[in-house]
Structure 1
C-alpha cells in the first residue's frame, strides 16, 4: 500500500508561501515562525527531489516545476477540506447521499430550477437522480429505494403533494396515414404502430395509457419515441410540454380523436419515509416546493391513496 513521504501540512505551507508572497508574510498569516516554514518547504523539496521555489531578495518565486505542483497542491487541500466537511456534516446527521426518483413525464425545467436552489445548500451531499415510469415510480415509494419521489401515482398509505398538471396527447408525423384522417376513433388507432415508454418497475404492469394497438414498440424515454415519430413511424401519447414546439413547427401532428383526445393528471411529490428525511433531504424538499410554487403550477391540497396514472 502506498505511503506518502510528504505531508499535507508541508503542501499547505508551500501553498501559503506562494499565495502570500514570501515566508515572512505566510508565517504571519499561519501564526508560525518563519524558520518553521523554511524548514517545511526545504524538507518537501528534498523529499521530492524537485525545486519548487527560489528566493530572490525577500520574495519567493515559483519555479516552472513549482507551478505544476502548486495546481495539484490546491486540489489536494481542497479535497481534504471537502473530506473533513463531509465528516462534520455526517456527524451532524447530514446525509452523505440522497436519491430522487422522477417520473419521466415531469417537466425537467421545473426540476432543474429546484436543483439550482438546492445546490448551494447541499453541503456536498451526493445526489442520485433516477428516471422512473409507472410501476417503477410506485416501487421507489413502496420499497423506500428513494428519499423523495416525483410520481404520477400515489400508492395507498402515502401522501402526495401535487406539483404540476401534465397533459398527454396523441401525435404522429404529418405524413403518417393517421394524420390525414379528419376524425379518428380508438378502433382505427389499434391497427397502427404505437410507440410506448418502458415501465421501469421490476414487475411492470400496464397501469395507464391506451395500449390496444396490434403492434407496439417499447422505448426507454419520450425523446426516443419522438425521434422515431419524426422519422415517419408510429404514433404515441407524449407530454404536451415536450412536443408543443414541434407541433407548431409542423414537424409533428396532433391526432384528431373523437374521444379521449387528451389525458390530464398531476405529478406528486412523495416522501416514502417522512420521519427518516434528514437535513439535506429537507433542503431538497423545500427547493422542489419553491420551484413549483414559483411556476404557479401546484395546487394547494395534498392527496392520499391512489391517484391518476403517469402515462
Structure 2
C-alpha cells in the first residue's frame, strides 16, 4: 500500500514561506512558531529527498526543483480546498447534480440563457441535460427520474408550471416544389412528404398529419433532411426563423393563416420540494421565460 511522504499541511507551510519571503514572516501570518515551520519544511524535503528552499540571510529562496514543486503543490492544495468547500456545500443541502429532460421539438433558448447564468452560481452542481420524445418525458415523470422536465403536456399529480406558447410553422427547402407556391392549403400538404419530429409510431397529438409521414427522432436530422430538399415539416418558429432569414429554408404561406401551437410546461416530478440549487435554477428559468418568480401551479 502506498504511504505518502508528505502532508497537505507541509505543502501549505512551504507555500506560505515562499509567498511571504521567509520563515519568520510566514510564522507571523500563520500564527505559528518559526521553529515549527522550519521543522515542517525540513521534514518535507527529507521525505522527498529534494531541496525545495535555500535560506540566504533572513530570506528563503526557491531552488529550481522547488519552483516545479511549488506549481504542482498549489494545484494539490487548491484541490483540497475545493473538496472541503464541496463538503460544506453538500452538507447545506445543495444538490451535487440536477437532471433536466426536455422534449425534442420544444424551443429552448430561454433555458440555455438560464443555464448560462446558473453556471456562474452553480457551486459545483453538475447539470445533466437530456433530450427525449413525449413518451420518454412521460416515463421520466412517472418514475420521478429527473429534477425538471420540459414537456408539451401537463401531468396530473405533479407540480406543473406553464412557461410559454410556441408557434409552429411549415418550412421546406427553397428548392422544394412547395416553396414556389404563393399560398398552400392543408389539402395540398396532405399529398406531400412530411417530416414529423416524434418517436417510433408516435403521432402529433391534436395535429392532423399527411398521408406520407416520415417519423424523425431528432431535430438535427429533420433540419438536415429539409436542407436537402426532403419533404416539409412543422417546426418552432424561433428555431427556423434564422434559417428562413438566411434563405436556408422557406416558410410556407398557409391559406386561412393556419397555425399550430404547442405549450411548454415545466414539470417538477419529485414529491419533495426542490433543493437550493434547483430553486435557484427555477428562479432563473422563470426570469428568462418572462414569468413572475412565484408563478407556479399544481396540476
TM-score interval, smaller chain: 0.7 to 0.9
User: Secondary structure of the equivalent of 1:162?
Assistant: strand
Cα 1:46–1:231 change in 2 (3 A) is farther
Q: Distance in 1 between matches of 2:293 and 2:196?
A: 29
Following superposition, the deviation at residue 252 of structure 1 comes to 0.8
Distance 1:170 1:25, change over 3 A: same
Match of 2:265 in 1: 268
How many angstroms does 1:276 deviate by?
A: 3.9
Q: Distance in 2 between matches of 1:281 and 1:37?
A: 45
TM-superposition CA deviations, 1:10-62 (whole Å, max 9, x none): 11112222222222222112111122222222222222233333333322233
Q: Which residue of 1 aligns with 2:210?
A: 212
Match in the other structure for 1:244: 241
Residues 57 and 263 (structure 1), Cα distance of their counterparts in 2 relative to 1, 3 Å cut: farther
State TM-score, norm by structure 2.
Answer: 0.86
Partner Cα separation in structure 2 for residue 154 and residue 205 of structure 1: 18
Equivalent residue for 2:280?
283
CA 1:249–1:41 in 2, change beyond 3 Å: closer, same or farther? same
Q: Check whether the contact 1:138–1:154 (CA below 8 A) recurs between aligned residues.
A: no
**Structure 1 unaligned regions, length at least 5:** 306-311
Residue matched to 2:7: 7
Counterpart position of 2:97: 97
Q: Provide Cα deviations, 1:61-91, integer angstroms capped at 9, x if missing partner.
A: 3333333322322222222122222222333
Say whether the 8 Å CA contact 2:158–2:271 is kept in structure 1.
no
TM-score (norm 1): 0.83
Matches within 5 A, 1:1-311: 1-199=1-199, 205-208=202-205, 209-216=207-214, 218-220=216-218, 222-258=219-255, 261-293=258-290, 302=296, 305=299
Cα distance between partner residues in 1 of 2:239 and 2:150: 18
Q: CA-to-partner distance for each residue in 1:112-147, whole Å, 9 max, x for gaps?
A: 322243334432122222222322222222221111
Counterpart secondary structure, 1:275: coil
Q: CA RMSD in A?
A: 2.8
Structure 1 contact 135–204 (Cα < 8 Å) conserved: no
| Structure 1 residues 19 and 156: alpha-carbon distance in aligned structure 2, compared to 1, 3 A threshold | same
The answer on whether the counterparts of 1:159 and 1:270 sit within 8 Å (CA) in structure 2 is yes
Query: Which sits farther off after the overlay, 279-288 or 181-190?
Result: 181-190
CA distance in 2, matches of 1:51, 1:290: 56
Provide closer, same or farther for how the CA distance between residues 259 and 136 of structure 1 changes in structure 2, counting only shifts above 3 A.
Answer: farther
- Taking the aligned partners of 1:56 and 1:167, their CA distance within structure 2 comes to 75
Tell me the distance in 1 between the aligned counterparts of 2:295 and 2:125: 30
Conserved in 2, the CA contact under 8 Å of 1:191 and 1:215?
A: no
Aligned length: 298
Q: Work out the CA distance in 1 between the residues paired with 2:56 and 2:266.
A: 63
Change (3 A) 1:248 1:23: same
